[in-house]
A and B are shown apart, each in its own frame.
Chain A
Amino acid sequence: MGGRILLIEDEGNIREAIGFILSRAGWEVQGHGNGATAIEAVTRTKPDMVILDIMLPGLSGFEILRALRDGAETAQLPVLMLTAKGQARDQEAAFEMGADAYLTKPFSNADLLATVARLAQARATGDRA
């Protein structure tokens, strides 16, 4: 286990919480608070995984996800979507657009760790969930 995660989330406190939790699990977490510059951050940092909030200033998580899936280098990049909306509609939309996992805020730390671990596992075996 281990690798770099880019966390795109505009709430500083949530960034801090997730960063703390995943760091302790061995991940190198980099936070990014602005949607508009998120894609640029992904291409620049080349993370192993992206945790993506949906409600972002500048560019929404859905738009970022679509851009990532369209990009040749990022098409296979594992993406975990986070949303505070919690509606089934959003979840479906996220999966349709190619999200690998989906968590509704607030989530338990254990769920977060398990989901991230599952995505990392899938990436390691080359089999995307």
Chain B
Amino acid sequence: MLSFDGLVAVCVLYVLILFAVAFIAEKRAAEGKARWLNSPITYTLSLSIYTTAWTFYGAVGSAVRNGLEFLTIYLGPTLVFIGWFWLLRKMVRIGRAQRITSIADMISSRYGKSGGVAALVTLLSVIGATPYIALQLQSVTLSFSVFADGGALGAPDADQTAIWVAAGLALFTIVFGTRSLDVNERHPGLVSAIALEAIVKLAAILAVGVFVVWGVADGPADMLARIEVSPINNTAWNGARWLGLTVLAGAAILCLPRMFQVLVVENTDERHLATAGWAFPLYLLLISLFVVPIAVIGLEMFGSDANPDLFVLTVPLGLGQDGLALLVFLGGFSAATSMVIVAALALSTMLSNHIIVPFWLRLTRHDDPMSGDMRRVALTARRLSIAGVLFLGYGYYRLSGGADALADIGLIAFLGVAQILPALLGGILWRGATRVGAALGIGAGFLIWLWLLLIPNIAETGGMMPAILSDGPFGLTWLSPATPLGLQATDPLLTAMVLSLGVNTLLFILGSLMSFPSPLERLQGAQFVNVYDHSQPLYGWQGATGAADDLLVMAQRILGAGRAGRLFETAAEAQGRTGGVPEPTPDFLERLERELAGSVGAATAHAMVAQIVGGASVSVRDLLAVADETAQIMEYSIQLETKSEELAQAAARLQEANAKLTALSRQKDAFLSQISHELRTPMTSIRAFSELLMQDEGIDDAARARFSRIIHDETLRLTRLLDDLLDLSVLEHGRVTLHEGETALSDVLERAVRIAGAQDGEGRLKIIRDHDSEAVTLWTDADRLTQVFINLISNAQKYCDAAHPEMVVSVRQMPGRIQVDFADNGSGIPTRQQALIFEKFARADTARGAPGAGLGLAISREIMIRLGGGLSYVPSEQGTRFRVRLPLRVRRAA
């Protein structure tokens, strides 16, 4: 017999071998050389984690207690692999197409990426798996104690053993399960180690079986005879339980997180599933082949008092076959560890993806889930989750104290995860399934399972059964787990199974029918149910040599030929390949993705790489992420556009303002130039004549008088010009005080004619008036109106070029207003100048040295506007006609 120390040494050695295998596999996979990894046999062997220590040791125990009932645990998966192969294939295809990372991800993806549903499934899985992991730890410590104490229970170092095993498994899983966040969440090293363990497991049980049949008994015939007389043969056949357990085991292979991990997530090639379709049932058949013989011989050797769960180990030990026993021990160790490793990996993925990272994101308001920072957070979350899951299992093991009740935990755990089944099947097969239905079904089934099975089991394990459990809460016995709905549960497992799965399915269907799926849910529903319409089969990326070329083409398009070429060449060199095209290994793909992400965004990069390498269709989630990125970029570009438009507008406004200012400045220049001219002209005369007078050289008195007169007149002209300028300035910009009062139009005209010097016989211009029509009383500023009239008359005096200049003043009354026309008989104003006459300093070309500065009409028009009327030029066939319009605002009888 081996000493405990020696056993530990063997274990450590075995674990080191596993580490080495895993390490080599990872390395070869990274170099793209691990062809054996990509074999269907490896895949099938990895599925063997279904047979845990519970079945490895427990099947014999179960056979002793319940006869052939243990077969149901193998029958369910066998039926699924043979009869529901199409379902497995669909799951694998969906998993690939949607890049599903776990069973929780599968369910949540189908139901519109619901975080709540994912968290619920994760919670359910963790709660279900914790006692199961405890069970594995228990089996390992039990098998240790068998060696250490020669078959007695309760090894002194059981707790320590358990914690060392738990810690070792945590380390192994962390090292090979969380090396990186792979593009495809695959773990070649881990799968290789598990495959090796599967072989050890099978070899051990077969060796014991062969030893028992041919070593202990005398071959098959003798063995059959011994079975015939064994008490095992007398166990009662319970049809309902058989059916129930078969269904449960079938459900478990579909729903267990660890099974999903190896079945779907670690699948590299869809064709492997076809091999597994017959090879996995064969594996199960082989592993269960010698269960009954071992049980029979065990009973013969140790009687019914011994623990039949350890017969696999104690039979060879009892017969002095230490080597065989050691192999069995390693087989059991393998069964336990492989289950724990994959379970911890799958659960940590779920915990991190669906609980920790979302929580972290909400906490820190990160918005880029693919950033390097986020990757570190996710990895840390996974590592912590692995440690946490194993710690939970260990804690449960300590709590249970290694009690027998743990034996039931396998089936209880099966039923727990089986609650996922309705939502899973419904999601794959029925487009009408909705998130509400899934959440209701899983939630209700989960609670029923918790109340009817798990809590009583925990209570029993802990050695207590509170009244609330035995009598029901609030004294309601129909709520008691012992008598649910008043049923006297002879088989609590079956009762709980029927109730929980029944209510679960019912609520799932009703909830789905009565709720309306969100758009994303409907899209995902179609993607899941009709997955074959949307995706290509996956035949393993290792073989896809064409993918590298496609990647290069894509990378060149995005990164530019130079950068892409350098990236690929460096990677190819590192892989020791020539030709500049590297194998699309996960490491390389991750690096490429990072490079691309810098240009097109992480989600887009991920989708592009996956599209080419994974053969995966781009999932709706990816598309949404891509759309989000695009939307962000578009929003940014719209912001830029808006900004540049605003700038352009501002520039346009500035230009406009500048143009206005320039125009104003030009107007000012022109105005000053005009004023300068208007001032200099009289000043020229004044200077010239005054100099002549001052020099006083022979100028006669007549000339002297004339010069003085001119100087005087020009001075007046200057004064008038300045007055006009001030007047116009005030009229245009300032406040003008009007002295309004009642006045007769005829008086105003009379005064204007007199001041203008156009009275009868005075001057050349003859004014023709109609005094009757002038009998209108006005309310206006008489002085200002007179000024306008004088201007019009003097213009005619200046410009009318008729031989006998005449001006007709006609008054016309209209409703509310009056108009006075001043028409002369000259040649009129040329059409091209008509538009200019009201401008400042505008003077008719025909002005013959006219004394005005050209401000008269501008001033007159301003005055008329102030008086509430207007002044306009009326084009006519002959002569010049100005029209003054006046309002009859206040009309009083004269």
Contact = CB atoms under 8 A, between A and B. Distances in A.
Contacts of B846: 57
B245 interface: no
Interface in A5-37: 10-14, 16-18, 20-21, 24, 33-34, 36
B691 A14 contact: no
Given A33-B849, A58-B845, A17 B677 contact: no
A108 interface: yes
Contacts of A106: 680, 683-684, 686-688
Interface string A92-129: 00000000000011111100000000000000000000
B689 A17 contact: yes
Interface string B810-834: 0000000000000000000000000
Contact of A14 (B676, B677, B684, B847): B684
A109 B673 contact: no
Interface stretch (A44-52, A62-70, A72-80, A82-90): A82-90
B696 to A, nearest CB: 13
Given A10-B849, A13-B714, A21-B692, A55 B685 contact: no
A85 B673 contact: yes
B692 A17 contact: yes
A84 B676 contact: yes
Nearest to B697: A24
Contact of B680 (A16, A18, A57, A84): A84
B676 A86 contact: yes
A84 B688 contact: no
Interface centre among B695, B843, B845, B847 (most CB of A within 10 A): B845
A104 B680 CA distance: 9
A86 B680 contact: yes
A96 B179 CA distance: 89
A36 B713 CA distance: 27
A109 B676 contact: no
B171 interface: no
Nearest to A108: B691
B733 interface: no
Specify the main secondary structure of chain B where it touches its partner: helix
B692 A109 contact: yes
Nearest to A36: B845
Contacts of A58: 845
B684 A107 contact: yes
A54 to B, nearest CB: 9
B710 interface: yes
A55 B854 CA distance: 14
Given A85-B676, A109-B692, A14 B681 contact: yes
Contacts of A87: 673, 676
Interface centre among B692, B848, B849 (most CB of A within 10 A): B849
Nearest to B686: A106
Contacts of A16: 710
Contacts of A34: 848
A13 B673 contact: no
Given A58-B845, A84-B680, A14 B688 contact: yes
A85 B679 CA distance: 10
Contacts of A107: 684, 687-688
B849 A11 contact: yes
A87 B673 CA distance: 8
Contacts of A24: 697
B692 A20 contact: yes
A105 B680 CA distance: 6
B685 A17 contact: yes
A58 B843 CA distance: 11
Contacts of A14: 681, 684-685, 688
Contacts of A104: 680
A87 B688 CA distance: 21
A46 B843 CA distance: 31
Nearest to B713: A13
A55 B677 contact: yes
B848 A10 contact: yes
Interface centre among B685, B688, B847 (most CB of A within 10 A): B688
Contacts of B673: 85, 87
Interface in B43-67: none
B685 A11 contact: yes
A33 to B, nearest CB: 6
A85 B671 CA distance: 11
Interface in B669-707: 673, 676-678, 680-689, 691-692, 695, 697, 703
A5 B805 CA distance: 34
A117 to B, nearest CB: 17
Contacts of B692: 17, 20-21, 109
A12 B684 CA distance: 11
Given A11-B849, A58-B845, A85-B673, A21 B684 contact: no
A17 B708 CA distance: 12
Given A10-B848, A21-B692, A33-B849, A85 B677 contact: yes
16 contacts: A11-B684, A13-B682, A13-B713, A14-B681, A16-B710, A17-B684, A17-B692, A17-B710, A20-B703, A24-B697, A84-B681, A105-B680, A106-B684, A107-B687, A109-B688, A109-B692
Given A13-B710, A106-B687, A109-B695, 18 more contacts: A11-B681, A11-B849, A13-B689, A14-B688, A17-B685, A17-B688, A20-B692, A21-B688, A36-B845, A57-B843, A57-B844, A57-B847, A58-B845, A106-B683, A106-B688, A107-B687, A108-B687, A109-B691
Interface of B: 673, 676-678, 680-689, 691-692, 695, 697, 703, 710, 713-714, 843-849
Q: Which 4 A-B pairs have the closest CB atoms?
A: A17-B688, A84-B680, A13-B685, A106-B687
